[in-house]
Structure formats: C-alpha cells, structure tokens
C-alpha cells in the first residue's frame, strides 16, 4: 500500500513510471514551500513504499566531512557527525513532520503544571550495544555526564538535577519553568549512550542503542557500522551494513555518486544540487531530497565580535554593506537559493522583517573610512577558510568585495576539524560558516545566548561571542511561555536584534541536500514509535533504520 500525500496527483503519475520495478511511490515535492523564492527546494524522484521492505545489503554513504569523534560529551558533531550519530544512537525525542516534538526512545515526557519538573518514561526492553539494559538509572547517569561536560553543559543551565525515579523512569527538575524542554532532547544532548563507556572519555568506539553497532573507524577514510540484531524497533534495521566515507571536496563526492562508488551522499552546493536534480528529472537514476518543511541552514561569514577591529559595531556594519550576497549566490548557489537577512527564511514562522544592512558600496566605503580613522588608518580582517574549491572560490569573492570597499583582507586556509577547534576558543576573526537549521529555534538558541559566550581563549558555544543581554532575555522568555504566539514573537525579536548586532554577514538560506541512487527505498520515509510521520531532514541528517535496497534490474 502506497503512502498518500497532499501531492497525490503527482504521486500517482510517478507510480506509473516506477511500479514496474519497485511497486513504490515516487514522492514529488512533498510539503512544497508557499514561498516561491524557495520553491526550488523540492524533492525529485523520491522512492517510497509502505511495503515491509527487503532485509539485507550494504550501502556506502558519502559525507561532507570527517568528525573528530563520537562521544556526545566531548565530540563536535556537524551535519556529518549527526548522520553517523543517527546510526549508532537514538535520541529521547524526535521531530514529527509538523515540526513538533514526539517521544522517541522515551515513551513519554510529562511536565508538572508549571513545567519545572519533567518525568521521562523509557520504553521497555531496550538494550545498549554491549547488552546492558537501558534503565532510568542508566539514562539519568548518561544525561548527568552530558550535563557536566564543558562541551555540552550550557544547554543544561536551567536544569537543577536529573535523577532516576523508577526502573524505567527519570525525573528532570528545573531551576525555572522550561516549557519547550523536549525540543532540547532532539539534539546531541538528547542521545542515549552507555554511561560506563561515557565515563572512559573514549571518542572512537561509541556504544549506544541505535539501529547499527559501531564496527571500525579509519579517520579520514571510512567508518563502518553493522546491523544491531537486538534493535528495539522489531524487524529493523533492514540494511546489514553502512560504510560512511568523508569527501570534503564536493566535486569528488559527486563523481563518486556518478561512478557508483557511493549509494547516497550529502550535498551543500547549488551547482551540485542543480546537476543532480536535472539528472533525476531526466531519468538518470537518482533521488534528490530537499525537505522544504524544515528550517534551512544559513550560509554566512561569521564574525568574532571580541577580535579587533570586529569588536566595533561600525566595522561589522561596514562589512555587511560591502557584501553583495546576490553575487555570492550567483557564484555558489547556481540560482537554487534565496539571499538571507537572518537565521529564518520568509517562509518560516519565526521570521521577522529587519533593518539588516543590504549591499551598498557607497555606504560601505564611508563606514570603512570611519573604522580606519579610529584605528590608525587601517582596517584589516583575516577570513579562515576550508580548502575545498567551493569554499575557496566563495571566500575569494568576499575578499574582492570587501577590498573594493577599502578593507585589507587576508585568507587563511585550514581543514574543517582545525577550523572548528579554533572557532570554539575564539581563535579567528572571520570565517565561512553554515549553521542554524534547527526545526525549533530552541536548538539554535545556545549559539546566540550571551551566557554561552566567553573570553578569547576559552571554550564557548556562542562562537561569535556576541554578548547581547537583550537576546538572552528574549531566549529565556521564549523558554518559559506556554503561549505559542508569544513564543514566536520572542524568537522574531531575536532575529531583529541579530540584524542590529551583525555578528554574522548573512549570505543565503541553504540546505544540506541528500542525493541517492534510485534503488534505495524510504530514504526519509519513516514514522516515530507512536506512528506519527517523522521530519524528513533534521540538520542535514536522517534516520537509516528504515532504508532498504531494491535489487538492481539486470
């Protein structure tokens, strides 16, 4: 039986084209955005089926980059890390297709009247990969280890204590009201890992509850996971093995897809997206996933607001006026993306109109002269850049734009893991960056809160170190209200304040797309445990337990 969607007419046409080989539905343009400027983010040739699926087989997954480790307390997971994490871990909470939270590994999360106490009940019969049972005590200990880690402690600041209160129950007591707490448990701090393993501080051999068990890892080459025979979702996973292979270069990754060396991959550039969309539309045997229902990430130049001269708001404003985002999109986006003026696109419920400075070279030159007058006649900025051709070309364009306004720009090239290590301690001035695609803004609030900043040289999750107490007040208020309209208004004000502070030079609303061969079924078609359809993409990642392989014809 085929899953029906609001795009039933398109789906029916696609069935005629594919039923001879799959008996599955090609889902086109699910949840197409009402914002026409984002309508290019449709899904193409997406193969889905409600049939039980075939067990067995192996896939190679091409990732954007390598990750520094797999321990949720001390490893830094970007989109590639999140994808691997979804294979070996389960989060307590997941997102449904309406961007609301739903229980996942947790069976229920129940607050008291003022949301200062949350009781979490776990599903019965779940075990870690080493055979240890998942109990209230184990999960409470796991969460407490995440709570005290320097990397992950900030999101837990409102939490007073976490304690086991039953064999399959734990209670989280807050210092203050936290109404949207479950959204926090959809992220890295919501994964459930074996606490005994966590205490070793090992980063290389993760032990979780996920559909696949860790097998081996050669950093920079590949990471292999194999089927968890005791997975708590009966009958899953369907695949026997997944091999994750990092390809920092977008072109190399795309070539590996076309030669069949990989079966599925993440993609970040408009050029690659346009290429595979056309190939998929022309029947070349590819699927393209771009979920327009979720929040998309933003491509930006992130500024360190504690590094001179960028500690001067006038300097940041000058750079914003000097940046022609449309020219950047023409170079990098291939017409696929929409220019940004904040972390939310116009189609987002969190979006607000702002006074963010748009490209104005005359105004930029005037402000640059003000900065030079205050700094002995100089205005110099170093942009840290990863070595991929796409990143190099984009940074070179920004360099030329800022130079035209009178700024002396140096480009520093470092690999991604080194760049992240530098960013978290503030050892940079400006950098190419892509972030802020949490389906609910709570997931991104830690990056903006002044409490998450720190002096240069110290670890901080507020990477831009923008210490705006007004932003902190809005984020805190959004966490406490039960009124959805009021919550939305608080996050909209955050967008306006970011436009005033300018810790980021916004370029465009992007998305990490997923491209796959057409013998993979149900790439993003899955349900949460209570039967609710799950959100297709979350931060450029998606579950793997539901994917199955259709034999290749011939």
Domain regions of the chain by residue span: 8-86+210-294+512-549, 90-198, 298-509
Q: At what angle do helices 250-259 and 389-404 cross, to 10 degrees?
A: 150
Residue range 1-17: average pLDDT?
A: 27
Does domain 298-509 bear CATH number 3.10.105.10? yes
Inter-residue contact 530 to 536 (CB < 8 Å): no
Residue range 411-421: average pLDDT?
A: 88
Band of residue 76 on the pLDDT scale cut at 50, 70, 90: confident
Going by C-alpha positions, the residue among 299, 288, 271 that lies closest to residue 511 is 299
pLDDT at 476: 95
Segment among 110-124, 166-180, 385-399 with least mean pLDDT: 385-399
pLDDT at 39: 43
Query: Six-digit token pair at 10?
Result: 């398109």
Mean pLDDT of the chain: 89
Query: Six-digit token pair at 317?
Result: 């404003």
pLDDT at 437: 85
Is the model's pLDDT at 552 over the cut of 80? Answer: no
pLDDT at 510: 83
Q: CA-CA distance, 317 to 182, in Å (whole number)?
A: 37
pLDDT at 55: 97
H-assigned helices in 261-312: 270-281
Q: CA-CA distance, 328 to 432, in Å (whole number)?
A: 12
pLDDT at 454: 95
Q: pLDDT for 496-519, tens place per residue? A: 999 999 999 999 988 789 999 999
Does domain 8-86+210-294+512-549 bear CATH number 3.40.190.10? yes
Compute the half-sphere exposure of residue 371: CA atoms within 13 Å on the CB side of its CA. 26
Residue range 286-300: average pLDDT?
A: 82
H-assigned helices in 425-535: 442-445, 469-480, 484-501
Inter-residue contact 383 to 399 (CB < 8 Å): yes
Contacts of 70 (CB under 8 A, 6+ apart): 81, 84, 85, 88, 203, 204, 205, 206, 214, 217
Inter-residue contact 249 to 497 (CB < 8 Å): no
Going by C-alpha positions, the residue among 485, 483, 445 that lies closest to residue 466 is 445
Inter-residue contact 437 to 511 (CB < 8 Å): yes
Going by C-alpha positions, the residue among 56, 73, 376 that lies closest to residue 203 is 73
**pTM above 0.85?**
no
Share of the chain above pLDDT 70, in %: 91
pLDDT at 512: 84
User: Which residue has tokens 């091409």?
Assistant: 62
The residue length of the chain stands at 554
Rounded to the nearest 5 percent, the helix, strand and coil shares of the chain are 30, 20, 50
Query: Six-digit token pair at 250?
Result: 């977008």
Going by C-alpha positions, the residue among 329, 330, 333 that lies closest to residue 271 is 333
pLDDT at 291: 66
Band of residue 93 on the pLDDT scale cut at 50, 70, 90: very high
Query: Six-digit token pair at 409?
Result: 């720009």
Residue range 126-134: average pLDDT?
A: 98
Q: pLDDT for 205-228, tens place per residue? A: 999 999 999 999 999 999 999 999
Inter-residue contact 457 to 426 (CB < 8 Å): yes
Residue 242 phi/psi, 5-degree rounding, is -130, 130
Higher pLDDT, 207 or 1: 207
Residue range 129-157: average pLDDT?
A: 94
Segment among 101-105, 122-126, 358-362, 431-435 with least mean pLDDT: 431-435
Angle at 157 between CA 156 and CA 160, to 5 degrees: 85
Q: In Å, what is the CA distance from 519 to each residue of 109, 341, 369? A: 38, 39, 58
Residue range 356-372: average pLDDT?
A: 98
Going by C-alpha positions, the residue among 447, 427, 437 that lies closest to residue 154 is 447
What is the Cα 408 distance to its own chain's centre? 33
Going by C-alpha positions, the residue among 484, 523, 525, 541 that lies closest to residue 91 is 541
Q: CA-CA distance, 423 to 431, in Å (whole number)?
A: 9
pLDDT at 474: 97
Residue range 515-543: average pLDDT?
A: 95
Inter-residue contact 439 to 294 (CB < 8 Å): yes
Higher pLDDT, 155 or 366: 366
Same fold, 8-86+210-294+512-549 and 90-198: no
Q: CA-CA distance, 49 to 53, in Å (whole number)?
A: 8
Residue 496 phi/psi, 5-degree rounding, is -65, -40
Is the model's pLDDT at 5 over the cut of 80? Answer: no
Q: pLDDT for 20-71, tens place per residue? A: 223 333 333 333 333 334 445 678 999 999 998 999 999 999 999 899 999 9
The sign of the torsion formed by the CA atoms of 369, 374, 377, 379 equals negative
Residue range 284-302: average pLDDT?
A: 85
CATH topology of domain 90-198: Dipeptide-binding Protein; domain 1 (3.90.76)
């Amino acid at each position: 039986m085929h899953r029906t969607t609001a795009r039933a007419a398109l789906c029916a046409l696609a069935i005629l084209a594919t039923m001879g080989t799959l008996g599955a539905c090609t889902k086109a343009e699910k949840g197409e955005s009402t914002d026409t400027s984002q309508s290019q983010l449709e899904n193409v040739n997406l193969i889905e089926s409600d049939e039980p699926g075939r067990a067995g087989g192996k896939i190679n997954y091409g990732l954007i980059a390598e990750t520094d480790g797999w321990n949720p307390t001390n490893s830094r997971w970007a989109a590639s890390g999140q994808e691997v994490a979804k294979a070996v871990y389960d989060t307590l909470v997941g997102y449904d297709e309406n961007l609301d939270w739903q229980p996942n590994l947790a069976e229920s999360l129940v607050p008291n009247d003022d949301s200062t106490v949350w009781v979490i009940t776990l599903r019965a019969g779940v075990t870690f990969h080493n055979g240890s049972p998942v109990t209230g005590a184990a999960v409470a200990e796991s969460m407490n280890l995440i709570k005290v880690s320097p990397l992950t402690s900030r999101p837990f600041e409102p939490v007073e204590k976490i304690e086991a209160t039953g064999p399959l129950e734990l209670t989280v007591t807050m210092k203050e009201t936290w109404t949207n707490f479950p959204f926090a448990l959809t992220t890295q701090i919501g994964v459930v890992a074996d606490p005994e393993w966590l205490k070793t501080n090992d980063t290389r051999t993760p032990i979780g509850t996920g559909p696949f068990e860790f097998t081996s890892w050669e950093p920079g080459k590949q990471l292999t996971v194999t089927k968890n025979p005791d997975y708590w979702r009966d009958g899953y996973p369907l695949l026997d093995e997944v091999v994750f292979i990092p390809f920092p270069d977008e072109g190399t990754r795309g070539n590996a897809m076309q030669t069949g060396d990989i079966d599925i991959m993440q993609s970040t550039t408009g050029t690659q997206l346009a290429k595979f969309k056309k190939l998929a539309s022309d029947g070349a045997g590819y699927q393209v996933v771009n979920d327009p229902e979720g929040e998309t990430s933003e491509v930006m130049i992130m500024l360190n607001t504690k590094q001179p001269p960028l500690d001067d708001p006038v300097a940041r404003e000058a750079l914003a006026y000097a940046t022609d985002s449309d020219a950047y999109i023409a170079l990098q986006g291939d017409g696929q993306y929409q220019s940004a003026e904040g972390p939310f696109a116009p189609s987002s419920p969190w979006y607000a109109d702002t006074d963010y400075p748009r490209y104005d070279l005359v105004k930029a030159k005037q402000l640059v002269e003000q900065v030079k007058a205050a700094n002995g006649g100089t205005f110099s900025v170093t942009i840290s850049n990863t070595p991929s051709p796409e990143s190099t070309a984009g940074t070179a364009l920004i360099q030329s734009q800022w130079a035209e306004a009178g700024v002396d720009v140096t480009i520093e090239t470092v690999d991604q893991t080194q760049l992240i290590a530098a960013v978290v301690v503030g050892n940079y001035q400006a950098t190419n960056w892509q972030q802020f695609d949490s389906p609910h803004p709570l997931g991104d609030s830690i990056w903006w809160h002044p409490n998450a900043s720190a002096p240069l040289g110290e670890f901080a999750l507020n990477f831009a170190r923008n210490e705006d107490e007004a932003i902190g007040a809005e984020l805190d208020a959004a966490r406490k209200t039960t009124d959805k309209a009021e919550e939305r208004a608080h996050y909209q004000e955050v967008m306006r304040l970011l436009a005033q502070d300018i810790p980021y030079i916004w370029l465009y609303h992007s998305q990490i797309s997923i491209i796959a061969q057409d013998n993979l079924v149900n790439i993003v078609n899955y349900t949460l445990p209570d039967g609710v359809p799950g959100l297709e993409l979350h931060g450029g990642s998606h579950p793997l337990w539901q994917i199955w392989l259709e034999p290749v014809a011939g």
